[in-house]
Chain A
Amino acid sequence: MAMTSSSSISVGIDDAGRLHDDLAWLGWREVERDGAIVLAPPTGAGPREVGEDLRTLISHDMASPVRALTLIASLIEAKGADVDSALLATVPGEAERVMLVTRRFSEFMKLLLRVPRFVERPLADVVAAAVRARRDRDVEVDVAEGLTTRLDEVLVESAVSELLDNARLHAPGGHRVTARAEADGVVLEVADAGPGIPAEYREAMLRAGRRLCHDDVPGCGLGLAVCAHVAACHGGRVEISAGADGAGCTVRMRLANGGAA
């Protein structure tokens, strides 16, 4: 059957509720077009790309410290006290890395598996919940009380929390959260005065597992991927830029109303 982007088909569905949830989970959204509700495909990375990124995360980032710890244990067994002390000093860091990747992978999967539930909510409440949860005292929030949109509260709060964590990690001097309404939804921004992300890496940093920092900086490259997933669930996208003066980092999350772009 040949179909174009504007095709419509009528099919009998055995379990419409389940199909709706499965499509929502895959990032498909209900969109009103010409007075009819149609299904629109996901924005951003599709499930196959996200799955491939996560496979890479496990096969490299999880396996790497486990392999190192296994080899260090074998060296201790073979050489006893002759093992290089600098190598032994890496053991706690490698063990922590296993725990970190496990925890972050689990958190990310929980969000990926969530079927979005959209409700009309004040954005200020969602941002305030994230700030409270992170006990963030270095943040300046400028979100109008009356600014509401249809969103999935759990997903958007998680994305804001990730952005607060990133800002606190890379720019301890303070950061700012703002939001505004635009024609096709709302725009939520978190801006900091940290080192920023070079333009050539901004797109890649939205993929799961991509990082700019070395292993001595905590993280495994999932924070911005969470934001990209949440924005895509809402029919939007994430943009990364430098601040107005060319320094720092501004992450802009566009959320279409009720996910209906």
Chain B
Amino acid sequence: MSTPPRILLVEDSEADAHLARSAFALADIACEIDVVRDGEEALAYLTRDSLHGDAPRPALVLMDLRLPGCTGLEALVEIKASEELRAIPVVMLSTSGDPHDAAACYGARANAYIAKPHDLDGLVAMARSIHTLWLSAAGDI
């Protein structure tokens, strides 16, 4: 049996982090979700700094756009500038769904920009889309 794919969720809202877990559970998608709370911590996790030395490499990063300190967009730029990290797909999440935000994320080489769903059907559909596009073939990396 293969190991469920691992997602790094970068989200400072505890409620949104739980809702993301609920989305995958409702969609019946098996995955491991590690949560960090800002862009700086995400970079530390991905580069396996002293605090995250044994952090596994995730199959996907789900990154909230609006984070305290180092924003999601700033962290995205860092990830895509790194030869070691740029192959990891990064999906940007935002409450607003603002086209300017989307353009900025795609300009910084985000793999996708998703406006956070406002209802349960949308939440499940989002989890399924993410699974189809980035997790179904991930397995162990």
Which A positions have Cβ atoms within 8 angstroms of B? Answer: 56, 59-61, 63-65, 67-72, 74-75, 78, 84, 86-87, 90-91, 93-94, 198, 201, 211-216
Contacts and interface: CB of A to CB of B under 8 A. Distances in A.
B52 interface: no
Contacts of A60: 65-66, 94-96
Contact of B18 (A59, A74, A78, A86): A86
A247 B38 CA distance: 23
B13 A68 contact: yes
Contact of B19 (A68, A93, A211, A214): A68
27 contacts: A59-B95, A60-B94, A60-B96, A61-B66, A63-B96, A64-B66, A65-B13, A65-B15, A67-B116, A70-B118, A71-B19, A71-B117, A71-B123, A74-B119, A75-B22, A75-B120, A78-B120, A87-B22, A90-B14, A91-B15, A93-B15, A201-B69, A211-B68, A211-B69, A212-B69, A215-B14, A216-B14
A214 B37 contact: yes
Interface in B70-127: 94-96, 98, 116-120, 123
Interface of B: 12-16, 18-19, 21-22, 37-38, 65-66, 68-69, 94-96, 98, 116-120, 123
Contacts of B13: 64-65, 68, 215
Closest 3 CB pairs of A and B: A59-B96, A90-B15, A68-B15
Contacts of B118: 67, 70-71
A215 B14 CA distance: 8
A84 B116 contact: no
Contacts of A84: 18, 21-22
Given A59-B98, A211-B68, A216-B14, 5 more contacts: A75-B120, A211-B69, A214-B12, A214-B38, A215-B12
A11 B119 CA distance: 56
Contacts of B94: 60
Q: Which of A56, A67, A93, A212: most chain B CB closer than 10 A?
A: A67
Contact of A90 (B18, B37, B96, B116): B18
B29 to A, nearest CB: 16
Q: Which of B13, B15, B95, B120: most chain A CB closer than 10 A?
A: B15
A193 to B, nearest CB: 20
Contacts of B37: 214
A78 B124 CA distance: 13
Contact of A87 (B19, B66, B96): B19
B17 to A, nearest CB: 9
Nearest to A65: B15
B95 A71 contact: no
